[in-house]
Amino acid sequence: MNIRLLHKDEQPPLDLLLLADPSLKLVNDYVVRGECYVATLQQDIVGVYVLLPTRPETVELVNIAVAEMYHNQGIGKELIKHAIEMAKKQDYKTMEIGTGNSSIGQLALYQKCGFRIAGIDRDFFTRHYEEEIYENGIQCRDMIRLFIDL
């Protein structure tokens, strides 16, 4: 697997980015303001993430996603490790990430990668998304905010 910065003349893999965030408006905004990285196997894009500067010395990892047929193969963990390396190279001191209260697998993965819970943005998803989101039989309402010191 190879992880690389998306070239300026390449179209971002919207199908994957929308797996992580169903809002096309937000996804397009993240891609324009951040750096989009893709994971490839042979010629296929199998994973993606965006590094989004938020405050001085702080970057947020957004829209991390892996194609469904490649789940449970360690690609998500490799993407997170790569994102941490890229953030360190750019002299960021803190990386943040947010996920839904219903995203149980993602919450476990982020904590396994060293992230710690910083707080909860109550009703984030009901305020910012028109359609209700359900995962694992749970309504996604709250944003769980996590961070890691780099």
> What token pair was written down for 23?
């809002």
Q: What angle do CA 120, 57, 8 make, to 5 degrees?
A: 95
The pairing of beta strand 143-149 with beta strand 138-139:
unpaired
Specify the 3-state DSSP secondary structure of 86: helix
Structure confidence by residue, pLDDT tens digits, 57-81 = 999 999 999 999 999 999 999 999 9
pLDDT digits (tens, 9 = 90+) for 38-49: 999 998 999 999
pTM of the model as a whole: 0.91
Contacts of 126 (CB under 8 A, 6+ apart): 132, 141
| Per-residue model confidence as pLDDT tens digits over 77-91 | 999 999 999 999 999
